[in-house]
Structure 1
Amino acid sequence: MTLAPTAPAADRTTRAGPRISALVVARNEEARLPACLASLAEADEIVVVLDRSTDDSAGIARARGARVLEGGWELEGDRRNAGIAACAGDWILEVDADEQVPPELWAEIRRVVAGSAHAFHRIRIDNYVGDRLILHGWGGSFGTTLKPILFRQGAKRWRGQRVHPGLDWTGTEGERITAHGIRHALDRDISDMLRRLDRYSSARAADLLAEGRIGTLPGNLRRCVSRILRCYVGRKGYREGGWGLLIALCAGLFPLFAHLKARLEPERHRPAPRP
């Protein structure tokens, strides 16, 4: 892997208070990266981790004055930890290439880190499917409306998994930032959402096989039903009409599909031994 030095950014000035590094982890995101990086201009530093990218993402990031870390990581947790280690700020704001941070949210972030005695803070996420903002029903590892993405250096470590890796924290959680949210272009349309379900469940199947715990069909059927009910009823997906039902179905089918892929097609999803 290679880490490019920081390039000068004309629109970034020295600010009082704790330094904030904005971290973006991406792969072949040249279409979405410009808008994401433009929304991070308020950061004291931008670090972009590119995992096996073959498009112009690196050039786009460097033109924005970002430090670029290029390499290849099998596990999502490993690539995100590499990005965290490359950040030099007192605080890190970790976003994805399909997310944008509006100016009013930056003001809240600066206010919070200036007086925080805690290790991390959750920030509201506004999820869009195409141009439609969907507020309710997200959950079950298929979407969230609140993420712990603002944290002190050294407070957060991702576990070694391929999809939705677990987190280990050092320190306490502070106030939640909910007055304004990050704009998350989660899916382009229904077909894009279903392709995401396929990708996620395949990656999860590989994790299950690597961990040697694929579970049972009855157990995963129960998880499927409970997740559907939790998203559609408990998290008020019904308020979104058919969209809420679709999200609930995807959230429920995610663990069931992962189990079935691991059980029925292990040769397709079993990961190669790590060196």
Structure 2
Amino acid sequence: MSPRISALVVARNEEQRLPACLASLAPADEVVVVLDRSTDRSAELARAAGARVVEGGWELEGDRRNVGIEACAGEWILEVDADERVPAGLWPLLRAAIADTPHGAFPVRIDNYVGETLVLHGWGGSFGTTSKDILFRKGAKRWMMQRVHPALEWTGSKGPLIGAVGIRHELDRDISDMLKRLDRYSSAKAADLLAAGDIGTLPDNVRRFFSRFLKCYISRDGYKGGAWGFLVSLCAGLFPLLAHLKARLEPERHRPRGAP
């Protein structure tokens, strides 16, 4: 018997995007939806789609994702976001990868869209990625306690990229939406810096801006994407610099409760 796959979605107030995501997860053996402080119709829509719903309130992203992992009953978990769609052609590749493997996880290709534009190049620097380790054995992955892009703790080896078909990631609706995401990410990162009691220095973060921009634009082929590649590389570079500036100049707005 082939291993069971639990599809896991962690979301907050995603009634607009959740139905399409859940429809793409129909081939999974079960679907678990964790809703963090949601006040819209997400729970109703998830239950109507046959998903098991876990509701609660968690300040840290790692906490709510770990709750979702524990709620899954399958031997393997496919962890996706509400703005991601799993194409039908990817499911046979996922099941083939886990059929008889010593590995504990597999990276899966991610196709990032801004509106209807597929942007292939320049992603990185915690602002976007072209692959994620989202297919894993239960017990192989644990999220750490940061607010944005938490670190991961792994058990077991990772297999090769599942890349013949990619997950459709409807990352941003347009450029304005991309800039709003940059604002959200940098605010959450500022809170993490303040909670840790170390916001870094301005010179270090200016250097980080240039190094991240150049890495995304050159090493990650952002230049091949024309103006789109330049834009996403620029945002990747700005992310840590903006977080530092928010923590430095507006600590009262971003300091979490209990932080020094």
**TM-score over 0.5 (shorter chain):** yes
Q: Give runs of aligned pairs for residues 31-110 of structure 1, distance below 5 A.
A: 31-110=16-95
**Within 5 A, what are the aligned runs for 1:224-243?**
224-243=209-228
Q: Note the alpha carbon deviations across 1:16-37, whole angstroms, 9 max, x for none.
A: 4100000000001001001000
- One-letter amino acid of the counterpart of residue 208, structure 2: R
1:186 to 163, 171, 181: 171
Pair 1:214-2:192 in alignment:
no
Partner SS for 1:115: coil
Q: 1:125 aligned to 2:107?
A: no
What's the % identity of the aligned pairs? 73
Match in the other structure for 2:3: 18
* Equivalent-residue separation in structure 2 for 1:196 and 1:116 (angstroms): 37
Q: TM-score, normalised by structure 2?
A: 0.98
Q: Aligned AA for 1:68?
A: V
**CA–CA separation in structure 2 for the residues paired with 1:249 and 1:102:** 30
Give distance in 2, aligned partners of 1:123 and 1:116.
16
Which stretches in structure 2 are left out of the alignment for 5+ residues? none
Name the SS of the counterpart of 1:182 in structure 2. Answer: strand
| Aligned residue pair count | 259
Deviations 1:98-127 (A, max 9, x none): 000011100100101102111100000000
- Identify which of 154, 159, 173 aligns with 1:169: 154
Residue deviations 1:252-272 (CA, integer Å, cap 9, x gap):
000000000001111100001
Structure 1 residue 273 displacement after superposition: 2.6
Secondary structure, counterpart of 2:99 in structure 1: helix
3-state DSSP class of the match of 1:89?
coil
Aligned counterparts of 1:258 and 1:188: Cα–Cα separation in 2: 23
SS at match of 2:80: strand
Q: What are the residue-to-residue correspondences of 1:145-164 with 2, within 5 Å?
A: 145-164=130-149
> Which of the numbers 177, 181, 188 marks the counterpart of 1:196?
181
TM-score by length of 1: 0.93
After superposing on structure 2, the runs of 4+ consecutive aligned residues of structure 1 that deviate more than 4 Å are: none
